[in-house]
Structure 1
Amino acid sequence: MEKETTTAIAGRYLRNYWFKAGVALLLVFIVLKKDLSFNIKLNSTNGEPAPPAEPTRKESKKTTERLTEALPASASAQESTTDLLNLTSLLGSGKPKAEDALNAIPTSEIQAYIRRFSKVARTEARKYGIPQAVIMGNALLLSAAGSGEAAGKGNSHFRIPCTSDWLGNSGHYEGHCYRHYENAWTSFRDHSLYLTTGTIGKKIARLRPATYSDWALALEQVGFTSEKDFGEQLIRVIEKYQLE
């Protein structure tokens, strides 16, 4: 018998044990595959386990908590705005009317002011033909019964504006220039002259006012003062304090 070669022996072995050899190869393949997967995982994390992913719901919770914490400040700002709106509605958006300022003065002070200047007003009325009630009413409204700033600083009881022909002292109040006087009597006299001479005097004369209500509306029409609805304010003050 010829001596068998190595190839022949291997072939005969495979024919006799092919099933066992196949199973062995399959096991080797599985082991190698797991080892390869394990090595790849280690290389991707540098030997450290990957941290778990943060849940989206948790992130949303954090955002909600931040918004909730901000609510008190927002509510406080809203309350402040509401308070400001309420205050504005009570006080009005602009400066108060002259009548409102006068109504804030105690009645006793108003009556004292009327007693103090009633004789001066009567004298001016006789000399210049202006109703005494109009003179006293103008003084009450435009000086707040003598408590106004212009009256206190410059004896300006009628807030007569500075004009190009005015050579005396003056002062600025809330953007307006008003004439200043040495005393209250001079203020009353200049008021009489202002309403009977010059541009304002000519305009009033053309309207021919007769009663105190005519004069009140005429003063508003010719722009005697920047006060809105001045004619109605003056009429109410004259009737309230019975200046006629």
Structure 2
Amino acid sequence: MRLGFIPFAKRALLMRSSSEGEIPNVRPVLLAPVHRTSADVFAIAEASKEFVSFVSTDSFGHNGVINFVQEKWTTAIGTVIWHEAGIDNPRKRAVALAKDVEDRLDRRLITAAFTQGEYQFDSVESVEEGLIGLLKRYEAKHLKQKGQELKIPIVPVGIEYNRGGRGLEQSAVGKWIEKWIPFTPNWTIPAFRTRITVRFGKAHYFEGQTARELTEEVMKEAADLSRIPYEA
């Protein structure tokens, strides 16, 4: 399903894509991409040519049928949805998310997370250090249990959208559907005939920084690779 859906999505939107740089041949590895549209996931999946497991939160405010379809489709292309609204207690949510991320790291997957949290179309306006902070705790836990140091590379990922030299433009059809058709998922779709360029930056590691400092370093580079300003 994953291998079939990505080419279908490209052809449906008449999109072209290319990539620059590469993911380090080390596992586990964390990708830290910008989050501009719903097509980010498909573009990274195609550029990597590998299975990428996205850690994603979703409030699932749609009806049961749409929720089910969204979960199955995103899981098939590598995203494992974390049900944010399914756990009321904030502490329990944090524990559930930590276990979710650690499971991917234990399985030595290419894991990806949008540290911005929400779509930010033409700039990086905010970042959340929680997910990258989990890596620091995971490394410390690994050293304590295994007696070996583990350094997980964190790779900034830029995504540039360009439609006829005008940058990112949203699909008029997509905006109409979201406005007028009830229970439509909260997707942001780029306009037809958009060219997408995915750029993998240099790997970053914890070298005495705080989680916040490292997150800012990584996302500043991701914004630069996307050709958009960093304003967080």
TM bin (shorter chain): under 0.3
Larger Rg computed on CA atoms:
1
- Structure with higher strand content: 2
Tell me the TM-score normalized by structure 2: 0.19
Structure with more relative contact order (C-alpha pairs < 8 Å, separation 6 or more):
2
Tell me the TM-score normalized by structure 1: 0.18
- Structure with higher helix content: 1
